Structure 1
Amino acid sequence: MKPFVRVTRGPVDESWHAGAIAVANAEGEIVAHYGDLDFFTFARSSCKPIQAIPVVESGALETFGLDDSHLALMCASHSSEPMHVEKASQILQSIGLGPEHLVCGVHVPHSRDAYEEMVRRGEALSAIHNNCSGKHAGMLAYCRATGADPSTYAEPNHPLQQAILRTLSEISGVPTEDIRIGVDGCGVPVHAMPLRAWARAFASFIGDRSTHAAAMQRILAAMGRHPELVGGSRDRFDTDLMRATNGRIVAKGGAEGFLALMDTASGMAMVVKILDGNARAIPPVTLKALNDLGAISEAERDALKPYVEPAVLNTQGREVGRIIAEFSLSER
């Protein structure tokens, strides 16, 4: 069996990762793929730009004086750096709520530097430091703008969650009853459907074929202009991909080895799923696919060189292997 991604240690292929890719044009048609297009999967946090659509359409940004930097954070899985915590706090302050109203729970920040600085200051962790706090603050802003109950915003039958489900159904072409719903790591509903449907959904962000086009264009612009708010200041692949392409490619990673991206210049969307959920394979797979599609320049690829064949390091910081993507896309 030919590997999709192989992980080397010295001269030996120590591990393999299987995966699938779907590429769609602006009309939502699959134009290239690898693996099983019907693999049924959650997009996890890659769905955040879609979850933000009803928030934008509610008028919450205008109602509470929020700008595109706050919108970018609503689409983020951030590293809990001071800039992220500040933006999330601004959203909550503008709507008259506090961290205690976030139901996303508490975890240690992804940024080790940010966490160590908190420890030095003696600052306690709260839900505002959760990587999903921007999304949850945005959901609360929707509630304040529409009069929906903010205490139940994470429940599947809440008006916001129903609006998200309807929107996802519209842009993916999958009936609501065929979209399966689970609970995400942060406590809100998370949706599963075939990989080809995810590609179609993200392709709807490009062009104007959707009734949600205005909101989606604003979301793309916000993420592209503020990539560091979507991820973090360093070592975040989706952020670095957006930086390297100056926001032409808008990308959002998700847990369990999922990534979605939209190329606003070529009118193409791509979703990647690593079947065993190991996100270490996402960067080399994504960059190889973009290179094969002619969707990334040599200069952009050079700017992302550490991600092309990421090094496997031991505890001495010594390179002992590589993560290498090896596959060929099939055209449809």
Structure 2
Amino acid sequence: MKPFVRVTRGAVDESWHAGAIAVANPEGEIVASYGDLDFFTFARSSCKPIQALPVVESGALEAFGLDESHLALMCASHSSEPMHVEKANEILQSIGLGPEHLVCGVHVPHSREAYEDLLRRGGTLTAIHNNCSGKHAGMLAYCRATGADPSSYAELDHPLQQAILRTLSELAGVPVDDIRVGVDGCGVPVHAIPLRAWARAFASFLRPGAPHAAAMKRILSAMGRHPELVGGSRDRFDTDLMRATQGRIVAKGGAEGFLAVMDTRLGLAMVVKVLDGNARAIPPVALKVLTDLGAISAGERDSLHAYVEPSVLNTQGREVGRIIAEFSLHRS
């Protein structure tokens, strides 16, 4: 991996982050890149739009009266704000299940304000507050719509997980047997393929007539129209990027320094992986690529100025350094 972000403290480059970038057109051809595109990596939560495809194609949304706001939450790593918890509960109520059926576990919400409000009200954290609760609720909706066993939906041999595996294989052009499978932080299977294959998979969302095109279009629309449900109302880069571009660009971050971006106007998909997993490098890298590709206007970039060269702050709130993306894309 090659360095692509430097972190300064005063006039000194204190740290560097290495990583790789792949940009693909709708046919899956790499048109711009940086670093090792054959690096095998998990996309983590960036894969949620792909994991949602079998859910959409099962007819679960129509069967249970769910709309695109619920679909957006199925693709989310949300901040556990009230709007997120409400939408997750709506999905579960519509299918006759409850938070106890979610196997994603419990963690402190990403939103500090939401967590402090829950404590003030004497509430208790449950799996519904997990940032993946929307994805898991969607998976349970698939089970209800298809008659699959809801108690084992997180197991690799479950019909849903096998459908996700086949779908990813199809979109990425990687044989099922070559996809490496682990367990995600929320307990469901997670998949590793080369970075160039991830770019190909997300680029298929932009190809008219591609397999699963109708479901892909619905997912892009849901995420682009409800960016705050995909992430949160504050300090979420993927949400803010979608807001700034009015949903023209659809983005989904993943743990350990992964990001997937789909530009519906230019028809380009970008994936970024930070080798050390530090997500602080993601926003400046993504914005530099989008700027270099002409994917965002000056006004849109200005509205995201806090992410262009993020400040390094000390405990006084004083800026003591910057996080600066510094690389040149290779154009194919």
TM-score of Structure 1 vs Structure 2, range by shorter chain: over 0.9
What is the identity, as a one-letter code, of the residue corresponding to 2:143? C
Aligned to 1:54: 54
1:280 and 2:263 equivalent?
no
Cα distance in 2 for partners of 1:54, 1:305 equals 37
| Counterpart-to-counterpart distance in 1, 2:180 and 2:207 | 27
The CA deviation string for residues 31-57 of structure 1, in whole angstroms up to 9 with x for no partner, is: 000000101000000000000000000
- The reply to whether residue 31 of structure 1 matches residue 23 of structure 2 is no
Partner in structure 2 of residue 314 of structure 1: 314
Q: What is the Cα deviation at residue 207 of structure 1?
A: 2.4
Structure 2 partner of 1:198: 198
Q: For the residues of structure 2 that align with 1:229 and 1:131, how far apart are their CA atoms?
A: 11
Given that 2:2 and 2:20 are in contact with CA atoms closer than 8 Å, whether structure 1 keeps it comes out as no
Q: What's the TM-score once normalised by structure 1's chain length?
A: 0.99
Segments of 4+ moved more than 6 angstroms: none
Alignment of 1:154-193 (within 5 A): 154-193=154-193
Q: Name 1:262's counterpart in structure 2.
A: 262
Unaligned runs of 5+ in 2: none
Could you list the per-position Cα deviations for residues 147-180 of structure 1 after superposition, in whole angstroms to 9, with x for gaps in the alignment? 0000000000000000000000001100000000
* Aligned partner letter, 1:140: L
Contact 2:312 2:319 in 1 (8 A): yes
Residue aligned with 2:241, SS = helix
Give matches, 1:202-217, under 5 Å: 202-217=202-217
Q: 1-side partners of 2:331 and 2:221: how far apart?
A: 29
The Cα offsets for residues 55-74 of structure 1, whole Å up to 9 and x where unpaired, read as 00000000000000000000
Match of residue 304 from structure 2: 304
* 1:191-214 per-position Cα deviation (integer Å, ceiling 9, x unaligned): 000000000000000022422000
Aligned equivalent of 2:139:
139
CA RMSD of the aligned region, Å?
0.9
> What one-letter code is carried by the residue in structure 1 that aligns with 2:225?
R
> Are 2:242 and 1:242 aligned?
yes
Matching residue's letter, 2:228: E
SS in 2 for 1:197: helix
Between the aligned partners of 1:203 and 1:2, the Cα distance in structure 2 is: 24
Report the counterpart of residue 21 of structure 1 in structure 2.
21
CA distance in 1, matches of 2:132, 2:147: 23
Structure 1 residue aligned with 2:109:
109
Q: Does structure 2 retain, via aligned residues, the 8 Å contact 1:27–1:209?
A: no
Percent identity for Structure 1 against Structure 2: 85
Deviation at 1:3, TM superposition (A): 3.6
> How many residues align structurally?
332
**What are structure 1's unaligned runs of at least 5 residues?**
none
Give, in whole Å, the separation in 1 of the partners of 2:209 and 2:234: 35
| Residue 125 (structure 1) shift | 0.1
SS of the equivalent of 1:55 reads: helix
Residue identity in the other structure for 2:52: A
Deviations 1:105-142 (A, max 9, x none): 00000000000000000100000000000000000000
Whole-Å separation in 2 of the counterparts to 1:179 and 1:3: 27
